[in-house]
Amino acid sequence: MSWLFALCLAAGNAHAEIPVHQFTLRWQHSIEKIDWEEDYVVAGNWLFLESARVRGSGAGMEPPAGSYYSKGVWRYRPAPDMRWSQSLLLTRSEFARDYDICIQGRCRPMADWIPIASGNTTLTPCKVASNAGQSER
């Protein structure tokens, strides 16, 4: 059996695998209602943050140094020491819009894979069998 890398989501007893090499993580600031997006690559045992965008600014939401503004969006590349992660820990709440996972331009709420009520959600790279389908829903 051959293996490929994928994105794994885990929260409490809930677990999902998304066989994807690239994805965008999108969320909305709970007070300012401004969208943030981060583009990731699953690179072996790591998640690599390629680029990021914020669709505005507000209190405590200043774009980082080196950002440039184009077509209503602040774009930037995170600092080198912030680009590689073995996992992402996301705090989710039923009182704020859920995170979205976007694959090839199609975005879906993370709740399609892992219920919000499951608590904090961890994203990690993982290996899945190449003949496995998308996670159960």
Mind listing the pLDDT tens digit for each residue in 19-47? 999 999 999 877 767 888 999 999 999 99
Residue 104 has pLDDT above 50, yes or no: yes
pTM of the model: 0.85
pLDDT of residue 85: 95
In a domain? residue 132: no
Lowest-pLDDT range of 10-24, 74-88, 123-137: 123-137
Q: Which element (helix H / strand E) includes 7?
A: strand 3-11
Q: What mean pLDDT is reported for the chain? A: 86
In a domain? residue 47: yes
Q: 101: domain range?
A: 3-125
Of the candidates 75, 89, 84, 82, the one whose C-alpha atom is nearest the C-alpha of residue 119 is 89
Contact indicator for 75, 67 with CB cutoff of 8 Å: yes
pLDDT of residue 28: 87
In a domain? residue 35: yes
Count of structural domains, the chain: 1
Contact indicator for 83, 46 with CB cutoff of 8 Å: no
In a domain? residue 119: yes
pLDDT of residue 136: 44
